[in-house]
Amino acid sequence: MNKTNVLEIKNLKKHFVLRKGLFSSLFTKEGEATHFRAVDNISYSVGNKEILGLVGESGCGKSTMSRTILKLLEPTGGKVYFKGTRVDNLSKKEFKPYRRKMQMIFQDPFGSLNPRRTVSETLRQTIKIHHLAKDRAAEDRLIKKTLEEVGLNPVGEYWNKYPKLLSGGQLQRVSIGRVLVLQPELVIADESVSMLDVSVRIGILDLLLKMKDKYGISFIYITHDLITARYICDRIAIMYLGNIVEIGPTEEIINNPRHPYTKALITAVPVPDPTVEPPELPIKGYVPVSPEDTIGCCSFALRCPECKQRCQSGKPEMINVEDGHFVSCFGVNGMNPLMNNRKALSTATKRRKGL
């Protein structure tokens, strides 16, 4: 256990029972229910002041995994360590002190805020629950400071406004303020800009970067958008059907993808030029629905354009193809000693570049 990491995940699993109903084929011959393996044996870590991007298409298990980490869903198996302490096996009462340190920014700012509370009342409730101020005057000072930090200026203009009077970007800033006021050490941002206009996304992303640099907060940034992931993330993990298939430094993943699914995601990124013909995507179809389809084989085998016989008869292990770059695929080789000195571009360089 590396105590320098804020979060470590060891073989995390979250399976949902498919109960008997109209489709009896979902059950075994013995009549036992099968399971949908939403998160299937995942391991990774998040370092201090690091932003780890979790990228994958809808239905691959990204949000389920985040909720399992925060014990909004109970894990089926595996271990979750927060700053060296195992937290997945704690009771609700024992886990309560960690709630403040492990927070989540939800995708929908319209649905995550109470429409009957003003902006100041929303933050005040959080402050009261966690006993962050000794009296109302102290609460007001903390609310004012937080609103200024998230860019809602002048504060008086937003103090008594209800959510219905705010734009999507302003609502997301209130949601971020509700998290920031707790001074967490780990924040999971679940598609935090996907419902916002493109024109306001960069402001929210820069706010997250500010939180990382100023307060030392680590992030798991969940998205299906490689463009925003490249802008904000130090490392990227590619997730498919409950498994991480590739993980490494952001620029290494973008410039040297090794897994066929990662290559397909990068190919699918649109080019901002109407004269350029969109390329033909190398993969077809959708994520398999049945949990039986990928048992005993590579999770991507059914859609992989490079699928071989061995891909259908066993699961590939995660191997190190370069320093810090790991891939789960039978079609790649192990580490090349000549490539050990390649480094990811600096954070400043990444912010200046786009896909």
Q: What's the pLDDT tens digit per position in 236-248?
A: 999 998 899 999 9
| Predicted structure pTM score | 0.86
Angle at CA 66, nearest 5°, toward 176 and 16? 140
What span, in angstroms and rounded, lies between the C-alpha atoms of 75 and 81?
13
Domain membership of residue 153 (yes or no) is no
pLDDT at 73: 92
Residue 81 lies in a domain: yes
139-144: Cβ within 8 A, 24+ apart: 142/181, 143/181
Is residue 129 assigned to a domain?
no
Strands (E), 201-312: 218-223, 235-240, 243-249
Asked whether residue 26 is assigned to any structural domain, the reply reads no
Q: What is the rounded distance in angstroms from the CA atom of residue 226 to the CA atom of residue 341?
A: 25
Question: Which residues make beta-bridge pairs with 81?
Answer: 8, 86
Identify the pLDDT of residue 53: 95
**Cβ-based burial of 147 (10 A; exposed 0-12, middle 13-18, buried ≥19):** buried
**Count: domains in the chain:** 1
What string of DSSP letters covers 122-144?
A: HHHHHHHHTT--SSHHHHHHHHH
Burial class (CB in 10 A: 0-12, 13-18, 19+), 206: middle
Residue 278 falls inside a structural domain: yes
Q: Tell me how far apart the alpha carbons of residues 226 and 332 are, in angstroms, rounded to a whole number.
A: 22
Q: What is the pLDDT of residue 1?
A: 59
Q: CB within 8 A of 206, min separation 6: which ones?
A: none
Pairing between β-strand 243-249 and β-strand 102-105 as defined by DSSP bridges: unpaired
Total Cβ atoms within 10 A of residue 242:
26
Contact criterion met (CB below 8 Å) for 342 and 322: yes
Residue 146 buriedness (CB in 10 A; 0-12 / 13-18 / 19+): buried
Residue ranges, the chain, pLDDT below 70: 1-3, 19-33, 289-293, 333-355
- Digit-coded pLDDT (tens) for 162-211: 999 999 899 999 999 999 999 999 999 998 888 888 888 889 999 999 99
Instruction: Show the tokens assigned to 67.
Output: 């909720």
Helices H / strands E in the chain, number of each: 11, 12
Place of tokens 């920014």: 105
Q: 194 lies in which domain range?
A: 5-19+33-101+184-352
Per the DSSP assignment, residues forming a β-bridge with 238 are 55, 246
Residue 128 lies in a domain: no
Token pair recorded at residue 134: 């000794």
SS3 11: strand
**37-55 residues labelled b (16+ CB within 10 A) or e (exposed):** bbbbebebbbbeebbbbbb
Asked if residue 148 belongs to a domain, the reply is no
Report yes or no on 165 lying in a domain: no
The CATH number of the domain where 297 resides is what? Answer: 3.40.50.300
